[in-house]
Chains A and B, each alone.
Chain A
């Protein structure tokens, strides 16, 4: 991972805008799927695939690659968009999301599509798998890092806390957990449905290194990743405060968009807003 120059940062912001647009288009095409999460996480996925991780789309099984384990599989449209933009599969294929015969399953499936490391959808199991992946790397003397993307809501699953304990016990410093702290889940706001706070204090008590950032600020995210690399004695969690539905005014902060589908008018409006945003970012950068 190189230092993040101003020019590269602008480029990543452009990519994030393009990923947002494609993710929304995919979900509109599919007629179902989750969209608030993908929009909130677009900046982090742009940074992961186009700056942070060592990977090669021509060799998806390259043993030394950094791993991205998506635990909250329902936000897969943003990962699919990132993989398509990174060259793992043709961009046209994005429109097959959730259709019969597709490689883009409604929730991501290992083996179906290059670049998907594990099957996910049922919540709370991704961090455990990331621990297994990291342990294997340690046994084999490989230097890859394992990034696990988690939702905030899935911290209500007991399985997840079993993994938090396990990673700390084994001092899995090659594991970096990235929490999409957008405060929403299907039934409402997380603090109403089942309070999670203080997430920071919980992770600290479990002996993790904890960082909190604005998850829609790419520079902050990259700085946090650098810091995680420098921590050898424990795993690191980055609590990324994001805006659900980020980039589409009428969706931002509204938990209904966690899994709501678009009406025709909403679809048109959302795509128009995102296209405008994309153009604005590009023109600002020129």
Chain B
């Protein structure tokens, strides 16, 4: 097994029945309370989704620093901007479809252009929201946030990394977007797994790799499974967890592309403007490389169970395996 030792992942991560399962939003809840305990300037706002965005624990522990905004995401973003220009570190939470979906212009002007120290937690992102359907399956949020100057964009791969990302966001001076998922997913990183925003983390490295699988969010777990299957077939790969999509770890991605000459990107988001787009823009500039893209191909999602949707939109383990085989044929 070629798990990358420095990533300090759970040794038992392929034994699915034994893994802790938790949604990445849980990490937001614990990270937020930790950040607020350390820094009294941390405040939190929510738009009528306090429990499901896991803002509840903060609200109970720090009631004076919690502001319920009601179903008004535009106002929430701007109130946060006002708090931030007055020295506070506001975290705003709603579903990603509404924040940054509904309130994008307010974020653009009052948060990003203002360079206000606001942290935007976009919950229930991606198709794994499942039965609620495409209205609630936000698959354009990374693109919306990545296009904004001053904005940092982080997509944690599991609940533990989500906790670290939330803590890290409180330390970054400037606007940050963090993307969270609703569904439970395997917790395969550990409290000692390194997490530095802007530093992509190798999580798998077969002997003499032929391709690089670049993934973000809970799909990093699928990418690990795919790498293991590929290794059994004699196809060697590296898996890179690009949890920070902006600023992108340009050096690491370029170095790996130069070394191994083929790339697969994996994300639960539109390929246009997402991780795939970001990697393609980078490599076109630094080292043109064949790339296969896993993600939403200019379509909206639909209702269904997360597992079936994952197959329908080609984000399951087998799809990653096939994409890797395909990219090797283009080398």
Interface residues of A (CB under 8 A from B): 69, 109-111, 117-122, 124-125, 128-137, 139-140, 158-159, 162-163, 165-166, 170
Which residues from A are CB-within-8-Å of B110?
118-119, 125, 128-129
Which residues from B are CB-within-8-Å of A120?
109
Interface residues of B in 71-98 (CB under 8 A from A): 72, 74-75, 77-88, 90
CA A92 – CA B106 in complex, angstroms? 33
**When the two chains form the complex, which single residue of B67, B79, B88 contacts A129, counting CB atoms closer than 8 Å?**
B79
* Minimum CB distance partner of B47 in chain A: A162
Interface residues of B in 32-78 (CB under 8 A from A): 43, 64-65, 67, 69-70, 72, 74-75, 77-78
CB atoms of A139 and B85 under 8 A apart: no
B114 at the interface (CB under 8 A from A): yes
Which residues from B are CB-within-8-Å of A122?
105-106, 109
B113 at the interface (CB under 8 A from A): yes
- Of the A-B pairs whose beta carbons lie under 8 Å apart in the complex, a sample of 11, sorted by A's number, is A118-B114, A119-B110, A120-B109, A124-B74, A125-B106, A128-B74, A131-B79, A133-B82, A158-B74, A163-B79, A166-B79
**When the two chains form the complex, which single residue of A124, A133, A163 contacts B86, counting CB atoms closer than 8 Å?**
A133
Which residues from A are CB-within-8-Å of B78?
125, 128-129, 131-132, 159, 163
CB atoms of A133 and B85 under 8 A apart: yes
B310 at the interface (CB under 8 A from A): no
- Contacts known (A163-B75, A165-B72); A132 close to B80, Cβ less than 8 A: yes
B152 at the interface (CB under 8 A from A): no
Which residues from A are CB-within-8-Å of B72?
162, 165-166
Which residues from A are CB-within-8-Å of B43?
139
* Minimum CB distance partner of B87 in chain A: A136
CB atoms of B69 and A166 under 8 A apart: yes
- Contacts known (A109-B113, A119-B114); A135 close to B85, Cβ less than 8 A: no
Interface residues of B (CB under 8 A from A): 43, 64-65, 67, 69-70, 72, 74-75, 77-88, 90, 105-106, 109-110, 113-115
Which residues from B are CB-within-8-Å of A117?
85
**When the two chains form the complex, which single residue of B69, B74, B85 contacts A118, counting CB atoms closer than 8 Å?**
B85
Q: How far is the CB of A97 from chain B (nearest CB, A)?
A: 19
CA A103 – CA B324 in complex, angstroms? 52
Which residues from B are CB-within-8-Å of A135?
67, 79, 82-83
CA A121 – CA B106 in complex, angstroms? 11
Which residues from A are CB-within-8-Å of B65?
139
Which residues from B are CB-within-8-Å of A128?
74-75, 77-79, 81-82, 106, 110
In the A-B complex, list the 4 residue pairs whose CB atoms are closest, starting with the nearest. A132-B82, A128-B78, A136-B86, A162-B75
CB atoms of B83 and A136 under 8 A apart: yes
* Minimum CB distance partner of B65 in chain A: A139
CB atoms of B86 and A132 under 8 A apart: yes
In this complex, the member of B67, B69, B85 whose beta carbon has the largest number of chain A beta carbons within 10 angstroms is B85
Which residues from A are CB-within-8-Å of B115?
110-111
CB atoms of A129 and B74 under 8 A apart: no
Q: How far is the CB of B67 from chain A (nearest CB, A)?
A: 7
CB atoms of A129 and B82 under 8 A apart: yes
In this complex, the member of A109, A119, A134, A158 whose beta carbon has the largest number of chain B beta carbons within 10 angstroms is A119
* Minimum CB distance partner of A164 in chain B: B75
Which residues from A are CB-within-8-Å of B64?
139
CA A244 – CA B84 in complex, angstroms? 34
